[in-house]
Amino acid sequence: QSALTQPASVSGSPGQSITISCTGTSSDVGGYNYVSWYQQHPGKAPKLMIYDVTNRPSGVSNRFSGSKSGNTASLTISGLQAEDEADYYCNSYTSSSTWVFGGGTKLTVL
């Protein structure tokens, strides 16, 4: 199972919006509404930010939103803040009853 494709890095200034893409196939991202997103700060465990493509867990800022079109899912962060600087990973359930992560995207807040 190949990793989902994410940009290696994205950046934005405080207050701006950024979008991170996550491209898979019809056997994973495109085939199921089971895409989730995780935030990881250096040396820390990942944290769930979005589940089932668009849903935000309790406690996660509404500045984070998710969407999907075809085989590509996206995470959008609006009103960028310094604390958003972290690595972000997408994840999808697959037709093999397994899961696959994206390669990760490093977000830099300028």
Which residues of the shown chain bind other proteins in the complex (CB under 8 A)? 1, 3, 32, 34, 36, 38, 40, 45-48, 51-52, 57, 89, 91, 93, 97-104
Structure tokens at 96: 């093999």
Cβ atoms of 87 and 107 within 8 Å: the answer is yes
Strand partners, 107: 10, 86
Q: Residue 60: which of 41, 44, 38, 82 has the closest Cα?
A: 38
Kindly provide the b/e burial profile for residues 15-30, where b requires at least 16 CB atoms within 10 angstroms of the residue's own CB: eeebebbbbbbeebbb
Closest CB to other proteins among 46 and 72? 46
- CA 100, distance to chain mean position in Å, is 13
Closest CB to other proteins among 9 and 16? 9
Closest CB to other proteins among 45 and 82? 45
Closest CB to other proteins among 16 and 41? 41
Task: Tell me how far, at minimum, the Cβ of 48 lies from other proteins, in Å.
Answer: 4
Task: Tell me how far, at minimum, the Cβ of 11 lies from other proteins, in Å.
Answer: 19
Task: Tell me how far, at minimum, the Cβ of 46 lies from other proteins, in Å.
Answer: 5
Task: Tell me how far, at minimum, the Cβ of 16 lies from other proteins, in Å.
Answer: 25
